[in-house]
Structure 1
């Protein structure tokens, strides 16, 4: 019976050598985030960049909504994968990180594809209720994950995808002794999604864990 490999740093470097290369501005964002201290954890992992790129390409996705943008790595990743007439709406409430991300988008010549909205995401989602998307990427405050998920379902085209980050929560979701509020919230959210008959879903152990849901 096959088993998942433990990905060592050496093996990850090998994988990187034979996989997709990051755009120079993607690497610039990663390098910038390294200067931010512990808050850099809000960034997606480069392996997740590659996954998002591929899923957008193979699924012919054109219209994407992102909930939670930080300094723009995931948004830029999504935009680079979209066709020239593709569109990304990126939601975040932080004006300062938005300014930083906009500079990166412009530097990568992707600003024409990306619209940012700066306000609490739940407010923006209400305003977008007449829009339809092919894919929604959720990577924002964890305590609102269920609300983001429910609102996202109403905004997706049939067969559309919801991709949710941080669902393994540093591995703590599997530790029954860990009962802090964030771990409990993610654990309960994962259970809710796994029982949701409106979607078919899998958890992929990339980065901090990603759930991929396809709307039925």
Structure 2
């Protein structure tokens, strides 16, 4: 695997952001409920790591396009992405959001209530335990994974068990500014500074990629994204 440059110049990142904002000005309508959710999350001390507006809109469109009625989210934070997906569900739909932090869950519930998303339930517990306890009798149509990266392989296996045939699994932060494809990132002695303090997040994505290479139960692709959040991407997988 060839080494990839991961230190993107500031002017390139600014171009990504400007392009994303330009397209969003036409395609994403102002939504006070979503804006307030971000503001309330920031006021509550939550980190600014929610999905970008364009990815949130994509998740909503995805739910609408497949007629999703049951959605599972692993990693809720302040509920910003939860609101987007909730907007894509019918009134009788159901969204189960998993969050390990009670403080984050409190903010998420407040944001969901203000946004009028009443068919979402936030479950506070270690996601691995919650996922393992969920039955397969009533499968999910869509699973969105955006939690601790080290557990991605486990989360994906559980998501595959819980999603319906032809259901979709989205795993966020799958490119990580090119670090996943950069062999030098995990070499001892590297002096580069990255957003994530260890290479365990990169290693987890690489592990999942190796798993997917041999997995005949899904078809998957990585979709790279350059937006207001920088250069990253997500895994798009369909259960066969």
Q: Same fold (TM over 0.5)?
A: yes
Specify the alignment match of 1:181 in structure 2.
200
Alignment match, 1:11: 19
Q: How does 1:72-91 map to 2 (within 5 A)?
A: 72-91=79-98
Matched, 1:48 2:55: yes
Number of equivalenced pairs: 210
Rounded to whole Å, the distance in 1 between the matches of 2:45 and 2:78 is 14
Distance between the aligned counterparts of 1:97 and 1:50, measured in 2? Answer: 22
Task: Verify: 1:99 aligned to 2:106, yes or no.
Answer: yes
Alpha-carbon offset, residue 192 of structure 1: 2.1
- Answer yes or no: is the 8 Å Cα contact 1:161–1:213 preserved in 2: yes
Distance, in Å, in 2 between the alignment partners of 1:28 and 1:56 is 23
Q: Alpha-carbon deviation of 1:14?
A: 1.6
Normalised to the residue count of structure 1, the TM-score between the two structures is: 0.89
Structure 1 residues 195, 24: closer, same or farther in 2, change over 3 A?
Answer: farther
Contact 1:69 1:91 in 2 (8 A): yes
Could you tell me which of 116, 127, 131 is aligned with 1:121? 127
Conservation of the 8 A alpha-carbon contact between 1:129 and 1:154: no
Distance 1:115 1:123 in 2: 17
Structure number with the bigger relative contact order (C-alpha 8 A, sep ≥ 6) is: 2
3-state secondary structure, aligned to 1:56 = helix
More displaced stretch, 72-81 vs 183-192: 183-192
- The partner residue of 2:174 within 167, 171, 190 is 167
Question: How far, CA to CA, are the matches of 1:153 and 1:92 in structure 2?
Answer: 19
- Structure 1 alignment gaps of length 5 or more: none
Asked if structure 2 preserves the Cα contact closer than 8 Å seen for 1:169 and 1:186, the reply is: no
Structure 2 gap segments, 5+ residues each: 1-11, 187-198
Q: Which has the larger radius of gyration?
A: 2
